[in-house]
A and B are shown apart, each in its own frame.
Chain A
Amino acid sequence: MTAQAGATHPTSHDHAHDDADYLRATRGFRSWAMTLDHKRIGIMYLVAVLTAFLAGGIFALIVRTELLWPGRTIVDPDTYNKAFTLHGAIMVFLFIIPSIPAALGNFFLPLMLGAKDVAFPRLNLASFYIYVFGAIFALFSIVTSAVDTGWTFYTPYSTQTGTAVIAMTLGAFILGFSSILTGVNFIATVHKLRAPGLHWKRLPLFVWSIYATSVIQVLATPVLAITLLLLIMERALTLGIFDPRLGGDPVLFQHFFWFYSHPAVYIMILPGMAVVSELIATFSRRKIFGYMFVAMSSVALALLAFLVWAHHMFVAGMSEYAVMVFSGLTFLVAIPSAVKVFNWVATLYKGSVSFESPMLYGLAFIVLFTVGGLTGLPLATIVTDVHLHDTYYVVAHFHYVMVGGTVFGFIGGLHYWWPKMTGKLYNERLAQIAFALVFTGFNVTFFTQFLLGSHGMPRRYYDYLDQYQPLHGFSSFGSYILGVGFVIMLWMFVQSLMRGAKSPPNPWGSAAFEWQTSSPPIAHNFHETPIVTRGPYDYHLATEEELYTGFPEDRVERVTAKTEKEEG
């Protein structure tokens, strides 16, 4: 990436800003609100999704607090229903789905491709405002009467409840279009804006996964859009398509809903895997073992995502043959997932592993995703699913995948790329304390729920039998630890922004492409169009200069000594 084509001329326009980083290239509110720079749009997304995460987290704490003891603890049943619905809807539609692709993806995809921007910068800005617009609708539903259907909006209840279903589903509908446009943009960017020499076999695995994610976003999200539109029309015009009172079929709604929302699980987890591949490579200082297998497993997951939706509906009244087929197809998902996990572990083996905070999240991801994946098998198996369906076991399973996977991937990526985005270092000790609390809190909260569920505690219930109290109490206690961990992390990032030390361009000594530009990057990403001559994980081909620009001397020695020792 340091080898450059031809002589470099400063561009005639913007010359004065050419060397300024993207944060300082232009100033003022308008320069941010109307920016076409993918990095600024990524930062705006980051702020937005973190706000949503905070809101969703608060609702989660309300739910867990209410469940501390049987009967009423702090809120009435209606408020409880609304709290868990809002927790789910906000976390899924406003946080998890856009978190990695829209925030980190927007920032890093063009950098990793050696491009100046995404293919359609104006569309990119538009999709951010569409996101904000959708969020406003969701917020509007909260301040009016909220929604109590659960985030799945199942009919026929959602056609009858007196709460603000239309505002919330319209919000999700609009958010879907934001997601689609981001996907379209990324697909065109990956195909057409790769730097010279960056062929498909050299793409960073982050790019491969985000690309696979984009394909799902473009092909699955419109089905949710039409489903929500039909639900809105069902409420407004009584269409009779989903409402059984009018001759409609509520199971059809579930098919439609999961035809999106199961692929959406991969919109959530593939980007998490994307981040983890980068983390494992950087902190093992090694080429990812079986690079092409890891890349292709992302594509395989994207395709399989479309074939397994009905495993959410084993007890919804499908034919037993359909149940068998969907059960069988569901097991196939284990193959590409396991390919990834085994290849990450194989990369760690004989790697020069260092345990900085991003790597801790990367390793935690592998552990939690493995637990989440393996606990999915009893849910894919018909006989056990009948017992576990709609119990806390399911809640625990999808939190292990979605929080243990996506959120840990996202937070790990945030730690990893924070110096690149802000140009600041953060307090590593605080980061590790926060990690310990988040990891412990998470497992206390959700591992307990596997036990609750297999003992028969149904999900979504406001009240429960006394015998479940100890486990519920333990789970709620874990959620408080989790909350404290996130507050410390927030404090650590704020502290870094206020008075963090300046970061070198490549603080982790990574061979990946995005670290080869300054931290924070200049407005046009690279001073000259890079010519790519090696893969992003080719540590044996990377020069000292590429790996250690601005790196503290003692750290270089430590890392290289360790590498030599392990190679010797």
Chain B
Amino acid sequence: MATPTTESAAAHDEHAHGSHGPKWLQHHFDMPVQQFEAAKLGMWAFLAQEILFFSGLFVAYAVIRQQYPEAFAAGSHQLDKIMGGINTIVLLFSSLTAALSVRSAQLGKKNEVNLYLGITILCAFGFLIIKYFEYSTKIEHGLLPGQYWHPHMEHGHALFPAHTHVFFGVYFMLTGLHGLHVAIGIGILAWIMWRNNRGEFSKDYWTPVDLAALYWHLVDLIWIYLFPLLYLI
């Protein structure tokens, strides 16, 4: 388990009086391992919630794709596979560095934690920048949902099948919500980095780094589903 046994045992002996434990042990927990496990369980429950939050969109995707298969194929062809592919690699790599930051925190290497968190944040910005270029191309070509749908014909494109705009409705909702999660992730990781700089973490206490990395893995995981479903059909 995460927390060193000496610390847990010491805190356990003092039993029930939070003021005797290490500084980061909150008053309502008896021992560090209990605080760690509660935090981890809470985070997993929150991540389950996140998955179900996206699941509504995945179901909408499935239903509408089943209704308008041609529209989905045509819409998907308008997406840039190269950019999407690069973004997939960027996110996968950032997930690795996020995991490495947790390991560095466990080893008590403060500077390495900063380094890995920094790389993760840079990757996240990279992802959003690439996304920005993708979005601006779509907007430029009028590949937008609903009443804003007005694709240019000047490049000699064939006419789109009916309801292709619904594909772009789904596309913008899924990637937009995911992009929002990336942006929130940048905030969380930066906050963790700031706390790391203040020396809040140590070999004995690195729970927040772990939880932030877990969140980041979820962001990565969702993209791993989005990429083939949207770009590769």
Contact = CB atoms under 8 A, between A and B. Distances in A.
Interface string A159-203: 000000000000000000000100111011101110000000000
B10 interface: no
Q: Sort chain A's interface into a size bin.
A: 35 or more
Contacts of A524: 27
Contacts of A252: 60, 63
Interface stretch (A101-109, A219-227, A270-278, A309-317): A219-227
Given A238-B146, A240-B163, A218 B169 contact: no
B219 interface: no
B28 A180 contact: no
Contacts of A118: 28
Contact of B45 (A188, A230, A240): A188
A11 B49 contact: no
Interface of B: 15-20, 26-30, 34, 37-39, 41-42, 45-46, 48-50, 52-57, 59-60, 63-64, 67-68, 145-148, 162-163, 165-166, 169-170, 172-173, 177
18 contacts: A12-B17, A191-B38, A191-B41, A218-B45, A222-B56, A226-B55, A227-B56, A229-B177, A230-B57, A238-B145, A239-B172, A240-B146, A241-B64, A246-B165, A252-B60, A252-B63, A524-B27, A528-B16
Contacts, number: 145
Nearest to A191: B41
Contact of B146 (A220, A221, A227, A237): A237
Nearest to B71: A247
A192 B60 contact: no
Residue among B37, B46, B57 with the highest chain A CB neighbour number at 10 A: B46
Contact of A529 (B15, B54, B173): B15
Contact of A230 (B15, B19, B52, B60): B60
Contact of A240 (B18, B37, B42, B145): B145
B16 A180 contact: no
Contact of A120 (B42, B56, B57): B42
A233 interface: yes
B19 A13 contact: yes
A256 interface: yes
A114 to B, nearest CB: 10
B37 A238 contact: no
Contacts of A28: none
Contacts of B41: 187-188, 191-192
A239 B42 contact: no
Interface of A: 5-6, 9, 11-13, 115-121, 123, 180, 183-185, 187-189, 191-193, 218-223, 225-227, 229-230, 233, 237-241, 243, 246-249, 252, 256, 524, 528-529
B14 to A, nearest CB: 9
A184 B145 contact: no
Nearest to A10: B17
B165 A240 contact: yes
Contact of B30 (A11, A220, A248, A529): A529
Contact of A180 (B18, B49, B55, B146): B49
Nearest to A247: B163
Given A121-B28, A184-B46, A239-B166, A256 B56 contact: yes
Contact of B28 (A193, A222, A528): A193
A256 B52 contact: no
A238 B56 contact: no
Nearest to B52: A222
Contacts of B162: 247
Residue among B41, B50, B60, B163 with the highest chain A CB neighbour number at 10 A: B60
Residue among B63, B148, B163 with the highest chain A CB neighbour number at 10 A: B63
A247 B68 contact: yes
